[in-house]
Amino acid sequence: MVSSLMQAKEVTKKYKRFSLGPLDMEVEPGIVIGLIGSNGSGKSTLLRVLMDVLKRDSGHIKFFGQEWHEDDVEWKQKVGYAGEILDAYGFLTVGELKDLISRWYPSWSNEQFETLVKRYKIDLKEKYRRCSKGTQKKIEFIFTLCHNPSLLLLDEPTAGVDIVSQRKMKEDLLNFMEDGEKAIVLATHTVDEINSICDEIVVLESGRIIHSFNKDEITENWARIWTSDIGENVKNHPNVIQYYSNPCQIVTNDLDTLEGIIQKEQITINHMQRLSLEEVLEFLIDN
Ligand SMILES: Nc1ncnc2c1ncn2[C@@H]1O[C@H](COP(=O)(O)OP(=O)(O)OP(=O)(O)O)[C@@H](O)[C@H]1O
């Protein structure tokens, strides 16, 4: 088993008014990474650069332990990428698209394709461009799964998808992860997806990774504490994310450390509550 399915080092991409990176990222087997950030923070650009759909300006990217030559296709055949790249083939029916795409993958499974087409109720005779946005998302999702990839890079795969299909997609992603050797990078704005699928969370802001956390660590360490008072040492502590003075309330990203500091300052803790994942994500994206 390779120790790293994808490794990016010092990767950059510059547009006229936006720069991605320099950025390091590693994807290990068995891990689902939720890539989050406000609109325009660079999530799609990052996935496109990783997939070589968009040429990077500098940096190194390895897939499956190797730095591939740009003409090599072997690594691309082991990665499932959903990033709205099928629009150019919109004049084809879904069935014709499948004929085209399947030829490119030696490990393509028609059986799995047929199962998923039934599961998501896709009409193979419909032209791709005539499919609704949500249906196009489902079709792209199906294509990413049918060639037995080891790594999925998914750009908001459930955006615009009906709730029943969203649930099915979540189930399919959890099944995909079952053998513990695969991985997913999932750009998403959906807290429920992060909650139910992701193990790690990477936060992008203005093209840079500003946080990278294990999800369980977040929910253990972030808390809101109501106190009798707030001294300067507490206010200025690096683990205090926000405070209010009336009534005294502190938001921290390290509960153990803050409890120690508060005790040392002889301040009384009146009440304490762990933050929900949603609240923490709002702080991470907003600050
Ligand atoms: N072809 C392009 N030319 C110039 N700038 C671009 C191009 N494509 C994207 N950008 C800019 O790059 C920045 C990042 O865009 P990107 O689509 O990667 O963000 P995102 O985090 O995926 O956003 P969202 O959550 O809205 O999908 C934006 O400021 C966008 O305007």
Q: What is the share, in percent, of the chain residues with pLDDT greater than 70?
A: 99
Is the C-beta atom of 44 inside 6 A of ligand 1? yes
Tokens encoding 210 = 């500003």
> Does the reported pTM lie above 0.95?
no
The residue assigned the tokens 């419909």 is: 126
Q: Rounded distance, CA 249 to CA 107, Å?
A: 56
Tokens encoding 213 = 């956390």
* Smallest CA separation from ligand 1 atom 11, residue: 18
* Smallest CA separation from ligand 1 atom 7, residue: 15
- In sequence order, which residues have a C-beta less than 8 Å from that of residue 144 and are 6 or more positions away? 80, 81, 82, 152, 154
- Residue 43 · residue 187 · CB < 8 Å: yes
Q: What is the pLDDT of residues 81-113, one digit of tens each?
A: 999 889 999 999 999 999 999 999 999 999 999
Same domain (yes/no): 270, 206: no
The residue assigned the tokens 């300052």 is: 265
How many angstroms is it from 61 CA to the middle of ligand 1?
Answer: 21
Which pLDDT value is given to residue 174?
97
Test site for ligand 1: of 36, 43, 154, 158, most ligand atoms within 8 A of the Cβ? 43
In a domain, 211, yes or no: yes
One-letter amino acid at 219 equals T
Is the C-beta atom of 43 inside 6 A of ligand 1? yes
Same domain (yes/no): 260, 189: no
Beta pairing, strands 6-14 & 58-63: antiparallel
Interface confidence, given as ipTM, is: 0.98
* Smallest CA separation from ligand 1 atom 12, residue: 18
Same domain (yes/no): 102, 209: yes
Ligand 1 atom nearest residue 42's Cα: 18
How many angstroms is it from 28 CA to the middle of ligand 1?
Answer: 26
Domain count across the chain:
2
CATH number assigned to the domain comprising residue 151: 3.40.50.300
Q: Rounded distance, CA 201 to CA 38, Å?
A: 14
Q: What is the pLDDT of residues 1-23, one digit of tens each?
A: 568 999 999 999 999 999 999 99
15: left (phi over 0), alpha (psi -120 to 50) or beta: beta
